[in-house]
């Protein structure tokens, strides 16, 4: 028996856990400071007791921004080994969390494989899995069924679960009255809404929140409070539905903290660029600094095929303004299940956004690699440039595919003999600069 | 003989030119207001008298953000027709300006072809072309040679020329003393620096600025004041070299305006995300609202292969904060001459950044297309979604490549039967929601 339930409980009792020590070291933060942040709920360490191969990560706005990747077995991709290879490739590309959104067959073996083999934080959305697990249609499920699935995921070692606790029966009327352009676009949120509509009952994730806290406390599962009413288009951003749900999430955060349960809060969504920073400030205030986990934000609606870019713009500004955790968005968003290349593009775009924000926030050590790259560029040292690159293989392939002119092999084909770096190096060395 | 020299001269004389009328209509702005902005120099209409096929555009922070694409004949691509096809494809993708950076052979025929056939604004960098045109090495060129090339470009109908007027002999000492990580990374800037270093003379674009103004006035060529000292890495951002040059550019802007010559000011570069807005504010103040033409800004140095994304992040925030004109960045930046696909990716990323900024700034009409997309998404009307997409072909190809399950053909394979839009449409219509 360990002397604490959750990481938050330990921090509040002044117990330094192995996970805290690992995170403090990674983040170049004094252990004492980290423990205070965990005790206050401003950093979470998503670490289920049963996820023993976990390489623990802290999530909080004063730490390095983390990136989540959604994967999982589906009707189109039901081979566990293939999907597991995608997972491990995502981890190699820098994903700190994997959300298992499996939607086909018996989902438990893959989930257990993840928590047995994958060092990244593992998250799930139990409401999806409920339909799959029981193989009963949504309206036939009971509140207890949902709770049982949460317990099963907790036992399986899942580190964080997205639960759409913040919508209630009142939301049904509000959605109808408010006439949003896109209503609810959260998958889990729409299932909860549909269940409430069909059964006439209250949201079980809201009504039985105390029972859920008990399960989460037992296994140290972090709750990621889902934002059912996150805007699905710019027109719905920062509206009454979104902000009222956020107020509910703030109340639920407080209730979870009273039971030492760790909490993240999920956020928008589709948001115009000028509203992104404001959204972060409002969340910080309403949810008392609980780590903000954002889905995008996407800063325009008109770029299907390129939403990894619209998400990188919004994600960079969100993380600079206080978001702690970015859910990746792939080029296939709004269009199709992402393939392997889409997954890669999505991760790289999110890592760029996270890194740009970490530099902007002055996260200790964040800019060192950029400074190394700058020195490599000044020296036209291509091997060192590739070593500093976020994706060395792609960078190398682009340069190699279009070789520079023979007599200027230190430059690249973009500028060739007009290379500014080459000219400056010669000029500063007092050498003659041949351009022709 | 027309009764005015430049668009600025006309605006100051209260003459409404056909170009002003066209721009006012496109921008949903009263003509009177536009004329005041042109008179003050806060909007430029780059329209050389000899570019008769021009579809005129205004550039200014209160107008729609414009995008420039760099192209041109090079040793690797010397077929005029192939390069012209690239130009027209860039215009179809939404580029409002083409900078002809041709660096091989006789550059005049292609330049003249551009101003005869291309409706986009055409820009050049005469200092590159000087070496090519005279086929003499840099140190052998005289100040008068450079002026003659500017005059030739003006006669050929070029709408704007980038001139690195802001560095002087003092800059040579400053660059040496300041020990920047990347010195000068502007190609044109490095050539001017190299020429000064080798000849011992003052920067001809600074020394003969009045003669240049005379040429620009005669043909109505807009000067794009080049930023030789733009930071080439995060470590050099917003440093003494950059800001001192900006101060020079502010002085030169005033001198140009005294002669009714239109001016844009070029800007960074590599800039940490937290410094982007500040850079825009400083430029606005120092250069009295002259339109800011930014190259990026790139918000991290470590993403070669993905600099269209780092540039889109910086560009969106820059444009939201006051930049008027974005120079595209392709995935091949820092690595190679962009190929056709790189050019396309670069344009789309820049258009996303520009559009996101226009929405954020509340440019009239900017968000209409996003709202149309939202309605199409709610109705699961895929044809209308493609019609609203920035790149319909790519969006369609992604969806078609991974078709949804047969019994849910209204959704897409990303969520399939879990589609939130489908669930919500059924729930709000009071229908039964089948998920399994």
Is pLDDT of A85 > 60?
yes
Residue A430 with chain B: CB contacts under 8 Å: 197
Q: At what angle do helices A273-286 and B340-361 cross, to 10 degrees?
A: 60
Distance of CA A184 to the CA centre of its chain: 20
Assess contact for B308 and B346: CB atoms under 8 A: yes
Going by C-alpha positions, the residue among A211, A210, A205, A212 that lies closest to residue A189 is A205
Residue B147 above 80 pLDDT? yes
CB-based contact, A197 to chain B, within 8 Å: yes
Query: Does B272 contact A359 at a Cβ distance shorter than 8 Å?
Result: yes
Contact A352 B313 (CB under 8 A): yes
Quote the mean pLDDT of chain A. Answer: 95
A103-134 pLDDT per residue, tens = 888 999 999 999 999 999 999 999 999 999 99
Cα–Cα distance for residue pair B278/B357, rounded to 1 Å: 16
DSSP-assigned states of every residue in B371-406: HHHHHHHHTT-HHHHHHHSSSHHHHHHHHHHTPPPG
**Model pLDDT, residue A407:** 55
pLDDT of residue A124: 98
**What value does the mean pLDDT take over residues A306-331?**
98
Structure token digits, residue A62: 């004063």
Residue A378 CA to residue A138 CA, distance in Å, equals 61
Structural tokens at position A346? 């999505």
What's the half-sphere exposure (Cβ side, CA atoms, 13 Å) at A72?
28
* CB-closest option in A302, A356, A412 to B388: A302
- Res B411: pLDDT: 83
User: What percentage of chain A reaches a pLDDT higher than 70?
Assistant: 99
B297 cis-preceded (ω within 30 degrees of 0):
yes
| HSE-CB of A261 using CA atoms within 13 angstroms | 29
**How far is Cα B37 from Cα A382, in angstroms, rounded to an integer?**
47
* B134 known ligand binder: no
By the CB < 8 Å criterion, does B236 face chain A? yes
The partner residue sitting opposite B356, judged by closest CB among A233, A299, A416, is A299
Among A76, A273, A389, the residue with its CB nearest the CB of B305 is A389
Q: Tell me the backbone φ, ψ of residue B277, rounded to 5 degrees.
A: -60, -40
The whole-angstrom separation of Cα A256 and Cα A259 is 5
pLDDT of B281 strictly over 70: yes
Q: For residue A179, what are its two tokens?
A: 């006439």
User: Contact A306/B390, CB-based, under 8 Å?
Assistant: yes
pLDDT, position A435: 86
Among A76, A183, A235, the residue with its CB nearest the CB of B371 is A235
In a mutational test of the A interface, the residue from B192, B306, B422, B434 whose CB has the highest number of chain A CBs within 10 Å is B306
Q: Is residue B69 pLDDT above 90, yes or no?
A: yes
Q: Which residues 6+ apart lie within 8 Å of B380 measured at CB? A: B410, B411, B419, B421, B422, B425
Q: Residue A400 pLDDT more than 70?
A: yes
Neighbours of A282 (CB within 10 A): 18
B380 in reach of chain A (CB within 8 A): no
**In the predicted model, what is the mean pLDDT of residues B411-431?**
90
What is the biggest distance separating any 2 CA atoms in chain B, rounded to whole angstroms? Answer: 83
Structure tokens at A333: 């968003």
Output the pLDDT for position A408.
Answer: 58
pLDDT of residue B231: 97
Say if CB A12 and CB A260 are below 8 A apart: yes
pLDDT tops 90 at residue B410: no
User: How do residues A11-58 score in pLDDT, each as one tens digit?
Assistant: 999 999 999 999 999 999 999 999 999 999 999 999 999 999 999 999
The b/e string for B220-234 (b: 16+ C-beta within 10 A; e otherwise) is bbbbbbbbbbbbbbb
Question: Span A128-153, mean pLDDT?
Answer: 95
Residue pair B301/B273 in contact (Cβ under 8 Å)? The answer is: no
Residue in chain B closest to A338 (alpha carbons) equals: B414
- CB–CB contact A423 B399 (8 Å): no
Q: Is A1 on the interface with B (CB under 8 A)?
A: no
The pair of structure tokens assigned to B194 is 């190299």
CB contact under 8 A, B336 and A418: no
pLDDT at B406 over 70: no
**Contact indicator for B277, B299 with CB cutoff of 8 Å:** no
Q: What is the CA radius of gyration of chain A?
A: 23
- To the nearest 10 degrees (0 to 180), the angle between helices A340-361 and B307-320 is 50
* Residue from the list A233, A274, A402 with its beta carbon closest to the beta carbon of B360: A274
Q: How much is the average pLDDT of B364-392?
A: 97
In sequence order, what DSSP letters do the residues of B169-189 get, joined into one string? HHHHHHHHHHT-SS----HHH
Q: Does residue B269 sit at the A interface (CB-CB below 8 Å)?
A: no
Alpha-carbon distance B281 to nearest alpha carbon in chain A (angstroms): 16
pLDDT score for B166: 97
Question: Which of A47-61, A404-418, B100-114, B194-208 bottoms out in mean pLDDT, i.e. has the lowest?
Answer: A404-418
pLDDT of B82 higher than 90:
no
Rounded Cα distance between A58 and A322, Å, is 15
Nearest to B252 by CA among B239, B266, B263: B263
Is A232:A185 a contact under the CB 8 Å cutoff?
yes
Q: What is the pLDDT of residues A201-259, one digit of tens each?
A: 999 999 999 999 999 999 999 999 999 999 999 999 999 999 999 999 999 999 999 99
Q: Is B12 on the interface with A (CB under 8 A)?
A: no
Which tokens belong to B23? 């721009």
Cross-chain Cβ contact A374/B302 below 8 Å: no
d(CA B18, CA B45) in angstroms, rounded, equals 11
Say how far apart CA A306 and CA A296 lie, in whole Å: 12
A348-391 confidence digits (pLDDT tens): 999 999 999 999 999 999 999 999 999 999 999 999 999 999 99
Q: B 85-124 residues with CB below 8 A of A?
A: 103
Containing H/E element for B97? strand B97-100
pLDDT for the residue A413: 83
pLDDT of residue B408: 58
Q: What percent of chain A has pLDDT over 90?
A: 89
Residue A399 confidence (pLDDT): 93
Higher pLDDT among residues B210 and A405, named by residue: B210
Nearest residue in A to B187, CA atom: A420
- Work out the average pLDDT over B407-426: 84
| Residue A436: per-residue pLDDT | 81
Q: Over pLDDT 90: what percentage of chain B?
A: 89
Predicted TM-score (pTM) above 0.95: yes
Task: Quickly state the pLDDT bin for B407 (edges 50, 70, 90).
Answer: low
Q: Which of residues 247-266 of B touch A (CB under 8 A)?
A: none
pLDDT of residue B124: 98
- The answer on whether B164 is annotated among ligand-binding residues is yes
The helix (H) or strand (E) run that includes residue B420 is helix B420-428
How far apart, in Å, do the first and last CA atoms of chain A sit?
A: 76
Whole-complex ipTM:
0.97
Contact B224, B123 (CB under 8 A): yes
Contacts B136 to A, Cβ<8 Å: 436
Report yes or no: B277 at the A interface, CB cutoff 8 Å: no
What's the rounded mean pLDDT across residues A186-193?
96
Nearest-CB residue to B436 (from A131, A361, A424): A131
CA distance B420 to chain A (A): 5
Residue B341, beta-bridge partner list: none
CB of A435 within 8 Å of any CB in chain B? Answer: yes
Residue B351 has pLDDT above 60, yes or no: yes
C-alpha A262/C-alpha A257 separation (Å) is 7
Integer angstrom CA distances of residue B16 from B157, B221, B262, B337: 21, 18, 16, 42
Contact (Cβ atoms closer than 8 angstroms) between residue A293 and residue A325? yes
- Residue A92 to residues A96, A97, A347, A348, B143, Cα–Cα distance (Å): 9, 11, 10, 11, 55
């Amino acid at each position: 028996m360990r002397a604490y339930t959750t990481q938050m409980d330990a921090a509040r009792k002044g117990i330094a856990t192995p996970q805290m020590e690992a995170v403090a070291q990674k983040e170049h933060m004094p252990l004492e400071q980290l423990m205070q942040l965990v005790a206050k709920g401003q950093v979470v360490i998503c670490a289920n007791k049963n996820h023993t191969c976990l390489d623990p990560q802290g999530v909080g706005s004063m730490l390095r921004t983390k990136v989540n990747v959604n994967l999982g077995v589906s009707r189109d991709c039901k081979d566990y080994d293939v999907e597991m290879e995608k997972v491990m490739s995502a981890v190699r590309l820098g994903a700190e969390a994997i959300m298992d959104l499996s939607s086909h067959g018996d989902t438990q073996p893959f989930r257990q494989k993840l928590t047995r083999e994958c060092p990244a934080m593992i998250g799930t959305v139990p409401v999806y899995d409920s339909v799959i697990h029981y193989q009963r249609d949504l309206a036939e499920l009971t509140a207890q069924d949902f709770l049982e699935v949460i317990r099963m995921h907790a036992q399986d070692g899942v580190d964080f679960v997205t639960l759409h606790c913040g919508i209630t029966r009142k939301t049904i009327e509000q959605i109808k009255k408010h006439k949003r352009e896109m209503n609810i676009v959260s998958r889990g949120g729409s299932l909860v809404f549909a269940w409430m509509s069909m059964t006439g009952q209250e949201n079980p994730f809201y009504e039985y929140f105390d029972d859920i806290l008990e399960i989460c406390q037992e296994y140290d599962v972090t709750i990621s409070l889902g934002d059912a009413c996150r805007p699905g288009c710019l027109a719905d951003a920062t509206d009454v539905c979104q902000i009222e749900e956020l107020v509910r999430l703030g109340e639920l955060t407080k209730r979870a903290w009273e039971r030492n349960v760790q909490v993240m809060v999920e956020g928008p969504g589709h948001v115009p660029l000028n509203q992104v920073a404001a959204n972060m400030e409002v969340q910080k205030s309403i949810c008392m600094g609980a780590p903000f986990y954002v889905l995008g934000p996407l800063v325009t609606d008109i770029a299907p095929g390129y939403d990894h870019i619209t998400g990188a713009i919004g994600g960079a500004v969100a993380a600079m303004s206080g978001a702690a955790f970015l859910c990746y968005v792939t080029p296939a968003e709004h269009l199709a299940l992402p393939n392997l290349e889409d997954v890669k593009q999505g991760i790289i775009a999110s890592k760029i956004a996270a890194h740009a924000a970490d530099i902007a926030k002055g996260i200790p050590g964040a800019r060192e690699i950029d400074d190394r790259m700058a020195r490599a560029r000044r020296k036209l040292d291509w091997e060192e440039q590739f070593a500093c690159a976020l994706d060395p293989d792609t960078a190398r392939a682009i340069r190699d595919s279009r070789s520079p002119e023979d007599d200027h092999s230190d430059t690249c084909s973009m500028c060739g003999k007009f290379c500014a770096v080459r000219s400056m190096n010669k000029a500063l060395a007092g050498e003659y600069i041949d351009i022709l």
